[in-house]
Structure 1
C-alpha cells in the first residue's frame, strides 16, 4: 500500500492554496465542499475564483508566498507553474510537518487527492497513486453507476436512529445483526424510492422483533488459491462473519477479504506436524455458534471434496445449530484449468476420477482395476503423500509406465510450478523433496499442457519443468 487512505475533517480548518488559475479553482471548489476555510495566495485570480471571493467564500491573503503564511494552516496546496516556488513551498511545509500537495508533481506530495464518488455522508475514494489516471476514471464510472444517487439518505436516516438502536440493543453483536438485517430488507428500497415514512415503519418493526442471538456455522470454499476464484457468495459471507476458522491451504489474498474486525483462528493441519485435531475444530465451531456468533469455516478448494465439510455440518446438525454451505472451486478443477490440462477430452479421456493421497480412515482401499483404466484421468489430491505407492499399483494393474503425469505446486497462484514426467518417474521426482501440498494429474490429457497453457505466473521459460530439469529446478 503506497498511500494510507484517510478522510480528513476540514470543517472550519484553515487550508492554504497557492495559485488561483483553473487548476487552483478546481481544488478550491473541492475544499469548499468540505467546509474548509480557504485562504488563497496568487498574483491574480481567474474569473471563477473572483466570483468566490466576491461571495466571501474564500480569503485572498497575499499576492506573494512567504513561509510565515503557513502558521496555523492545516494543509497546503501548490497549484502554480513556478517550479522553483513549488520546491520552496514543498520544503517549507516539510520542515513544519505540514501536509502538502504540489499539483501534478507526485514527488512533492505528502498527500494526494483521490477520485471521489460523493453520496454524502457516504464517500467513496479510489486512487491509483498517480500511476494510471485513465484506469482510475473507468473504475470511477463503474462505481458511480452501481451506487444509487440517494444512497446517502440511507446513511443519514440510519445515523438519526443510531442512538435509539444503541439503547435497544446493549450488545454490540446484537446491534450489528440488527443493521445487517435492516440493510438487507426493503428498508433501503423505500428510501431510494423516496418513501422515507414507509422505511421508518420498517425500521421500527425490525427493531422491536425478537432480538435473541442465533449462532450459525457457514462452510465456505476458498478455491485453490487465486482470490479471484472465490465466489461472490463466499465474499459476502466473509464480510458478515464474526469469527473465521481457516485452513493452511487458504491463500493470504483470500484472507485479506475477511471483514477487518472479524476474529481469525488458524486451524490448519499439515502432514507430519502437530496439529489441532478434527474433533477439536468441531467443538470450537459449535461453542462459538452457541454464543450467538456467525462462524465461518473457511477451507481451501471446496469443503465437500476431501475437505471433511460433511463431518462438520453433520456435527452442527446434531447440535441443533443452523448451517449453510458455500461451495468453492475445487483444487482439481481450478488448478487443471490454470495449467491448460483439460480433465476430460474426446480424444484422450472420457471421464475423471478424484482420489486423495491420504488412506481412508476405515481401511478402505481404492479399486485399482478402475483407476488403471487409461480412458480416465486420475487426479490425486495431496498427491505426493502416497504417490510412489499409487504409481506402482497403477502400473501393476496395467497402466502404462509411459502415462504422462503432471505435479502442480501452489496452483493458480503467482508461485505456480508444473512438473511434467511419466508415471514410472514419480519416485525420482518425489525424491527431490518436492514442496507440498501438490496436486497430481495422471493421464493422456497431460500431453495438452504444452499446447494449451495460458497462465504464466513467472518467467514463461521457468514455470514448467520436465524430469530432466527437476534436479536443476530443486
Structure 2
C-alpha cells in the first residue's frame, strides 16, 4: 500500500478550506464531526458555508493572507481554478500542512476516506484516490452491518475500562469483554435498553468475572431471497451466531453474511421428504443453546408468517432459554414490490388477507368463502399445487372469474418469474407456464369489478 492509514487527533487543531462551493461544503460537514476549528478562504461562500460562519462554527477570510496556513493541520482545496489550486497546495505544504486537493490525487498528501461514524467507533475506507465510488459503496454495506446504537455501547465500555482493570484479573479481562460485546448486555443496549445494559456490565464487574455464557436463540427472517432485503438486525444476528440452522429456501448468498467460523446446519423440509421433522429441529436448537451457544434459526421470509415459530418459541421458553424473533420481509411484500403494485389500493382493495393453500396434514382446508368479498386482496402462500381448489372455492363463494391474479415465483431471486391471469384461468396458467413453488398467488377482487358486475346484472 502506498498510503499509511492513521487517525489524527483534531481537538484544538486548525483546518483550512480554500473555496466557497459545494465541494468545500462537503468537506466542512466531514470536519465538523471533529473538534477542529475551521477557516474558510474564498471571496464568496455558498449558502451552507455562510450559515456555518454566521453560526460561529467557522471563520471566514475573503482573501489569502501571509499567515493563512500557519498552524494548519489539514488544508482542503477546491477553488474551481486548476492553476490556483496547485499554487495554494504548494503554499500550504510549505507551511507544514497536510494537503488534499479535491479530485486532484496527483496534488494530494492525503485522501479523505469514506467514513462510517459510530462515535467513538469510526471505520474509514480508502482506495488511495483510485476508486472513491467503490469506497462509498463499501461504506453503505458496512453501515448496514453496524448497529446505529453501537457507538453508545462502545462509549459505555470505555467509561468502564478502569473499573474492569481494577476488579478483574488480567487473565479474566479478555473473557469479560468478549462476553460484554456478545452477551445479554450487548443485546439489551442494541434493543434500546441502555440502563439495563449498563446494570448488567456493572454487576459483572462487581462480581469480578463475566457470567457463565448463556445460550440465546434468534428466529431470524431471511426475507424473500435477495440478501440485500435482510434487515440490519438479521445481519447482526448472523454475524454473532455460533451455529445457524437454515431452510432450503434460504439463498446461499444470505449465509455468506454469517461469521466464517459459524457452524451451519441444513434442516430443510423438502417437499414429499420430511427428513427434519419439527420436533427434531426444536430439540436441536434448544440443545445447542443449552451449551451457551448463540443460535440462529434462519427462516425464509418472516418467521411469524407460516414459519412454524410457535413450536420453536415454546421449546425455548420451556427450557428457560432467551429467545427473540427478528422479523423479515415476507414474500407478499416482495411480490408487490416486484410488480410495482401495492398490496392494497385506496377505493379498490381496503382489506388484505395473508393465507395458505396448504394446512397441517389431517386439517380441513381453510374456509375461503369469507375471502370472496369486494375490496379484498388475498395473498396465498404454498398454494401452487392447490390452485384449482383455490379458484373453485372463491368462484363458488361469489368471486368473479375475472378477478385479476398475479403469480410470482421465486420472488426477488435470479429465478423470479411472473404470470398475470384471471381467477378462472389460474390453474391453467400455472400449468401452461410451468410455474413451481415457492410462489405467491396474489388475488384481487376490486370494488370496481363488483360494481361493474352488479350494474351488468341489473341491466
TM bucket normalised to smaller:
0.5 to 0.7
Larger mean CA deviation between 322-331 and 296-305 belongs to: 322-331
Instruction: Give 1:434's aligned residue.
Output: 435
Kept in 2, the 8 Å contact 1:336–1:342? The answer is yes
What does residue 455 of structure 1 align with? none
Task: Check 1:233–1:445 CA distance in 2 against 1; reply closer, same or farther (3 A cut).
Answer: farther
Give the match for residue 126 of structure 1: 125
**Distance of 1:128 and 1:382 partners within structure 2:** 47
Aligned to 2:335: 335
Given the two structures, how large is their TM-score scaled by the length of structure 2?
0.59
Distance in 1 (CA, whole Å) between partners of 2:385 and 2:169 is 55
Alignment match of 1:177 (pick from 176, 179, 198)? 179
Distance in 2, matches of 1:279 and 1:243, equals 18
1:136 aligns with: 135
Secondary structure of the 2:240 match is: coil
The RMSD of aligned alpha carbons is: 5.3
Mapping for residues 182-201 of structure 1, pairs under 5 Å: 184=186
TM-score by length of 1: 0.58
Correspondence 1:83-94 to 2 at 5 A: none
SS in 1 for 2:385: coil
Contact 2:302-2:329 within 8 A present in 1 as well: yes
Pairing 1:14-413 to 2, within 5 Å after superposition? 115=113, 124-126=123-125, 132-134=131-133, 136=135, 154=158, 167-168=171-172, 176-181=178-183, 184=186, 205=205, 208-209=208-209, 211-413=211-413
Q: Secondary structure at the match of 1:352?
A: strand
How far apart are residue 126 of structure 1 and its match?
A: 2.8
2:182 alignment partner, SS class: helix
Decide whether aligned partners of structure 1 residues 208 and 373 sit closer, same or farther in structure 2, where only a CA change above 3 A counts. Answer: same
Give the 3 Å change call, closer, same or farther, for CA 8–414 of structure 1 in structure 2. farther
Report deviation, 1:148: 7.1
Distance 1:48 1:402, change over 3 A: closer
- In the TM superposition, what whole-angstrom CA distance separates every residue of 1:78-110 from its partner, at most 9, and x where no partner exists? xxxxxxxxxxxxxxxxxxxxxxxxx99xxxxxx
Between 1:232-241 and 1:130-139, the stretch displaced more is 130-139
User: For 1:413 and 1:305, how far apart are their aligned partners in 2?
Assistant: 20
Alignment CA distance shift 1:445-1:263 (3 Å): farther
Shift in alpha-carbon separation, 1:445–1:293, aligned structure 2, 3 A? farther
SS at structure 2 position matched to 1:239: helix
Query: In 1, are the aligned partners of 2:183 and 2:213 still within 8 Å (CA)?
Result: no
Kindly tell me: are residues 288 and 124 of structure 1, through their superposed partners in 2, closer, same or farther at Cα, counting changes over 3 Å? same
In the alignment, the residues of structure 2 paired with residue 148 and residue 380 of structure 1 have an alpha-carbon distance, to the nearest angstrom, of 42
Distance (Å, rounded) in 2 between the aligned partners of 1:204 and 1:327: 31
Instruction: Give the SS at the match of 1:405.
Output: strand
Query: Compared with structure 1, are the counterparts of its residues 434 and 127 closer, same or farther at alpha carbon in structure 2 (3 Å cutoff)?
Result: farther
Contact 1:182 1:206 survives alignment (8 Å): no
Q: Work out whether residues 115 and 140 of structure 1, in 8 Å CA contact, stay in contact via their aligned partners in 2.
A: no
**1:407–1:148: structure 2 CA closer, same or farther, 3 Å change rule?**
closer
**3-state secondary structure, aligned to 1:398:** coil
Structure 1 CA distance for aligned equivalents of residues 262 and 437 of structure 2: 29
**What is the alpha-carbon distance in structure 2 between the residues aligned to residue 287 and residue 246 of structure 1?**
16
Offset at residue 442 of structure 1 (A): 0.8
Q: 1:211 to 1:397 in 2, by over 3 A?
A: same
Work out the CA distance in 2 between the residues paired with 1:182 and 1:288. Answer: 17
Question: Does the CA contact (< 8 Å) of 2:121 and 2:151 recur in 1?
Answer: no
Matched residue SS, 1:217: strand
CA distance in 2, matches of 1:290, 1:128: 45
